Amino acid sequence: MPIFRIPWFVQQLFPNWIWRGGEKNALYLTFDDGPGAEHSDWILSCLKEHHIKATFFCVGEASQNNPLILNQIISEGHKIGNHTMRHEKGWSSNTSSYLNSVEDANSILSSNLFRPPYGRIKLKQARLLRQFGYKIIMWTWLSNDFDSSVSASKIEKKMNKIKSGDIIVFHDNHRTFDKLKLVLPVFIERMLNKGYHFAILD
């Protein structure tokens, strides 16, 4: 069963990781897996239309392959985060190779914000990354836009559970693009109508 809200007790188990933002009446919109020409360009246009800034957790290889889009994300005032070089899963990677992947991506992205792909990272990997100066950024509300069993209408229904301070995850890739085009405009309109504003992570 897809989980949209991360239970409080899970957040309490890992207090050194960042699960929420602290700004009053703010939401923290994030996008994982980009950049890519078509889908990232559409996201940027949608955000620009509503004067919204977001945080993009970028994969190193995708950033190498799409430098113009990466530069556009930065030039339009959005924040960049590290999502490893090749979208590695921490649980199935040895610590040395995982840390090397993060550092390889950082040579392109230059960010101290790190989000582990799939949200899966070994405690040792996380501890060492924090020692190296990275902030481990998780989330409180996950759209599940990547899940083929989750419809756009279900995602829209679950938006009712979003709260002030939530870190929100959507995905910036070709697999989720068709669904994202349906749900992101609805999400933005609903949250603005509820009086929320959008902040970037730092």
The whole-number pLDDT of residue 185 equals 98
Rounded mean pLDDT, 99-117: 98
Strand partners of residue 57: 32, 81
Q: Given a cut of 90, is residue 136 above it in pLDDT? A: yes
CATH number at residue 134: 3.20.20.370
Proportion of the chain above pLDDT 90, given as a percent: 99
Element (H, E) at 54: none
Residue from 166, 115, 109, 106 nearest 136 by CA: 115
pLDDT in tens, 37-85: 899 999 999 999 999 999 999 999 999 999 999 999 999 999 999 999 9
pLDDT at 87: 97
The answer as to whether 21 is a domain residue is yes
**Omega within 30 of 0 (cis) for the link into 35:** yes
Confidence of residue 1 (pLDDT cuts 50, 70, 90): confident
Convert the pLDDT of each residue in 4-21 to its tens digit. Answer: 999 999 999 999 999 999
Write down the pLDDT at residue 37.
87
Residue 129 lies in a domain: yes
What average pLDDT does this structure show over 89-93?
95
Number of residues assigned to the chain: 202
Domain that holds residue 14: 8-198
Q: State whether residue 42 is helix, strand or coil.
A: helix
Q: Look at residue 59 in the predicted model and tell me its pLDDT.
A: 98
Residues 110-124 have a mean pLDDT of 97
Q: Which two tokens stand for residue 2?
A: 């897809």
CA 192 to centroid of chain Cα atoms:
20
Residue 3 lies in a domain: no
Alpha helices (H) along 117-176: 123-131, 152-158
For residue range 153-179, what is the model confidence (pLDDT) as tens digits?
999 999 999 999 999 999 999 999 999
What's the N-to-C CA distance of the chain in angstroms?
32
Asked, for residue 108, whether it belongs to a domain, the answer is yes
What is the domain count for the chain? Answer: 1
Tell me, yes or no, whether 2 lies in a domain.
no
